Structure 1
Amino acid sequence: MGNRDELLAAEQVTAENGAEPRRRDVTRVGLIVPSSNTTMETELPELFARQTAATGQRYTFHSARATLKSVTREELLAMVDKAADCAVAVSDADVDVIAYACLVAVMAQGPGAHTASEDVIARAASDNGHPAAVTSSAGALVRVLQGLGAGRVAMVAPYMKPLTAMVRDYVEGSGISVLDAASLEVEDNLAVGCLDPAQLPRIARELRREGAEAIVLSACVQMPSLPAVQEVEDELGVPVVTAATATTYEILRHLGHEPAIPGAGGLLDGRFSPVEAVR
């Protein structure tokens, strides 16, 4: 029993006011995801596992879910109404940072909406007694592109054409010209999560990308893309980012951790350093 007590004392810090214990050596990452999302909770842990292997920094993930089955404007706006409740739920885990991981739900509100969404989540967590840094996939994507100086991009999205056009308008509303936006026309969100990332290099090649300064290989947190990021970047010779890699980058920077993730593009292995990418 003595050894067990010593181990618990070494791993946990208990506040005198009765607050829950905190691990000294582990960072807690909170995610707010659509209920049908199957990708962010696989791609982000994989990326952070690579960060752990490179740096020794350790992370755990804690999610709250908001109902979303079909990627329609109506369901997306209904999900937005749940953001504050989800922030309260995930902040109960006393997380260090919260990522609002539904890019198109934010973008459906119009250009610049990520700022207000992040403020709502931060305020809800703080009012719940557990303040945390906050990012959103929508905000992370545009801030990373701006920080990279990518004034012209081409992108791939899984959405029906009207939603892809909305994402395009949102990105352009941030001062970034979208040269082309491929729309894969998948409405069911579970089906989006089953798309084959091995098809992305071909789709990226077919984009109208002359003059592009970056490629957005997945403008969606649900469309798998991680296995293709490095391949497409190596082939096309410009930075390749996704909703997941941009979100990962901002989480790391909010935590003060230098990105050291191999095999996921220059944004995360330290070759590209966006300027003032974190809000």
Structure 2
Amino acid sequence: MTHFRVGQIVPSSNITMETEIPALLKAREMVSPERFTFHSSRMRMKHVTREELAKMDADSDRCALELSDAKVDVMGYACLVAIMSMGHGYHCTSSERLHRVTQDNGAPAPVVTSAGALVEGIRALGAKKVAVVAPYMKPLTEMVVEYIRNEGIEVSAYRALEIQDNLAVAAHDTANLPGIVAEMKTDDVDAVVLSACVQMPSLAAVAQVEALTGKPVLTAAIATTWSMLRALDLDTRVPGGGTLLSGAY
């Protein structure tokens, strides 16, 4: 039996990354032999504002260094909007820089970002046009939409829930998500991004929204898990993980 250490670079006020990604990988343990442990390092952030996000991102190098001391096998940077607020394509810059930190510490580990994972996950599904639900204030949501569009993916519908306090994002009721999506125009999209944020819980609604829309549904947490499994060269079948984690991608 092979054991993997999963490192997570987490905003200090994030309480969902360390529940949803472990839940997915523990569900995978029911059908696959590999086992996972989870190890986190935190960077300070309480409010989802551009200023706090930039200050927080500067702390990510320290987190990568700390996690590499534990010789983790893969790292996930758990704040999609922090990456996207740093400019188009920054997910590549960030993952390369943080990987170098692990190399310089003698414990090289691949680093995936939730921002890059979401973009790659949408592409893997073959989706050209998506609908997006995000918890952020409208200006930050529009920035996320433009980041995705810059990657060559059309966002034809989006909804900003306008929650600024990060703990309030985590407290958003997952049961509200199907109703939110039902109010959006999704008939012409190829996929639905149910949560463009690893802090907004959404796993429990994925199957329902896939049934509601008839479309593949992914979230930042699902995409990050998928990207981590690929970085570890493991199969991507995870029960309850939606279409992207069906094992076909």
Give the alignment's TM-score, normalised by structure 1. Answer: 0.87
1:86-122 per-position Cα deviation (integer Å, ceiling 9, x unaligned):
1001111100001111100000012111000001110
**Does 2:187 match 1:210?**
yes
Please give the per-residue CA displacement for 1:176-201, whole angstroms capped at 9, x wherever unaligned. 11011101010000110000111101
1:148 corresponds to which of 108, 125, 149: 125
Q: Which amino acid in the other structure matches residue 73 of structure 1?
A: R
Supply the AA of the counterpart residue of 2:219. Answer: T
CA distance in 2, matches of 1:173, 1:131: 30
> Following TM superposition, by how much is the alpha carbon of 1:256 offset from its aligned partner in structure 2, in angstroms?
1.2
| Pairs within 5 Å for 1:117-128 | 117-128=94-105
CA shift at 1:207, angstroms? 1.2
Alignment pair present for 1:130 and 2:107: yes
Shift of 1:260: 2.0
CA-based RMSD of the aligned residues comes to: 1.0
Contact 2:77 2:113 in 1 (8 A): yes
Taking the aligned partners of 2:240 and 2:182, their CA distance within structure 1 comes to 20
Task: Answer yes or no: is 1:28 the counterpart of 2:13.
Answer: no
Shift of 1:56: 2.0
Shift of 1:144: 1.1
> Which residue identity does 1:51 align to in structure 2?
R
Partner of 1:255: 232
* C-alpha distance in 2 between matches for 1:207 and 1:90: 40
Deviations 1:188-239 (A, max 9, x none): 0011000011110111111122310000000001000000011111221111
Is 1:79 aligned with 2:52? no
Query: Equivalent residue for 1:42?
Result: 19
Q: Which amino acid aligns with 1:221?
A: V
Q: Residue 233 of structure 1 aligns with which residue?
A: 210
Unmatched 5+ residue regions in structure 1? 1-23, 274-279
**Aligned residue number for residue 31 of structure 2:** 54
Where do residues 4-23 of structure 1 align in structure 2 (5 Å cutoff)? none
Matched, 1:160 2:137: yes
Secondary structure of the corresponding residue to residue 159 of structure 2: strand
Higher relative contact order (CA 8 A, sep 6+): 2
Runs (4 or more) in structure 1 with deviation over 6 Å come to none
Report the Cα offset of residue 148 of structure 1. 1.6
* Alignment partner of 1:194 is 2:171: yes
Give the match for residue 160 of structure 2: 183
Q: Return the alpha-carbon distance in structure 1 between the equivalents of residues 29 and 137 of structure 2.
A: 37
1:244 aligned to which of 217, 221, 225: 221
Larger Rg: 1
- Matched with 2:244 is 267
Q: Following TM superposition, by how much is the alpha carbon of 1:269 offset from its aligned partner in structure 2, in angstroms?
A: 2.0
Distance 2:200 2:110 in 1: 25
**1:97 corresponds to which letter in structure 2?**
V
